[in-house]
Structure 1
Amino acid sequence: MAAVKGDEMRSRSESLEFALLGFLSQSPLHGYELRKRLIAIYGPYRALSFSVLYPQLRRMLLAGVIEEISQKPIKAVKARKMKKTTKPARAPKEGGIARRSRIVYRLTAAGHERFSHLTQNVTPDTWEDEGFEVRFAFFSPTSPANRLRILEGRHRRLKDKAEILRTELEKSPAGIDKYLEEWRRHSLESADREIAWLEKMITIERK
């Protein structure tokens, strides 16, 4: 059980690293923008807090695949309570202005090489749910041969899943919870829709 959990955590970490490398290969970004773009891939219901993001960025910094750069300092004027007065408002003093730099991350030469290597590395994790979503988000820099391998692997994975769900529905024992049965039916319909879409994408890639 511990080994399975460890493999799952490693897979998620590798998936997150790939996504971060992919975004930073397009342009340097700060942490807040990276999180927004990651949520666009993983969806709003996937827990992706800064407590997950920044440790991953630190690991990548230590590995030398990304580096930090500072953006132009941003002026932040301290808010002051408004007081009723007949005196004209004064301009804020210099001491009331704070300057802070925003940390931006960008790929190093090693980072570009690492991302290029990962786009050409195809494993069974690539066509599992989370892995496939991330890899498909960066399909353009992936070679045509590997794009086809990933699509075909995902297609096989879903065909197997659909067959299992179909068998479970056909052999549902009497008295099974109606909501569980409805969920299985919904899952099967979702799998069938994605299978049809994958077959279309595979046909396009083979041309």
Structure 2
Amino acid sequence: MNQKHQEDLAHIRSMMERSSRFISLSGLSGVFAGLSALLGGLYVYQLFKANGMDYLNDEHRLYSISLVSELFWTAIIILICAFAFGAFFTIRKSRKYNLPIWTSVTKKMLFNLAVPLTTGGIFCLALIYHGYFGLVAPCTLIFYGLAVINAEKYTFSDIKYLGFCELILGCISIFYIGYGLIFWIIGFGILHILYGLIMFKKYK
């Protein structure tokens, strides 16, 4: 009898989890988003070299309008790839386990994610407009970390650890202006891959 009650309680908890949290998020989304960021970061490093800039040794860097434009569009492409992989693996997981995707919880999660991201995006555009290029990478890490922490209550609670790591990394990188690309590769590339692998193993 007690075993039946325990099974019933487990079933109830599972149903409550499904109704209150977005659990279709796949760890593979994080892995492939991280790989996109890693490849994008390496491309940017090569781009600096092609423009005669030794990123790790040059203290004073001159960013031409064409270089800033190429960096901007590279960031947009990386963002699109990350979202595309996220959508693909989320839909695949939802179909595999017969989970709903577009629910009120999904909308709440996306809203809580979008507010800090949109604010951060506008802030970074303002930094670019005023020529504060060295602050862009740290700010993307900080606002992304805040967005992930803000959305945690509507998905797996483990995601908050990724958010705090991104936030801490961004705060550290503020004190090392000029090395933002290194921190950016670590935050959006390596951390995402590690987080994705852990999540995939834990929730597969």
**TM-score bucket (shorter structure):** under 0.3
TM-score by length of 2: 0.25
Greater share of helix: 2
Higher RCO, Cα 8 Å, sep 6+: 2
Question: Higher strand proportion, which one?
Answer: 1
Which structure has the greater CA radius of gyration?
1
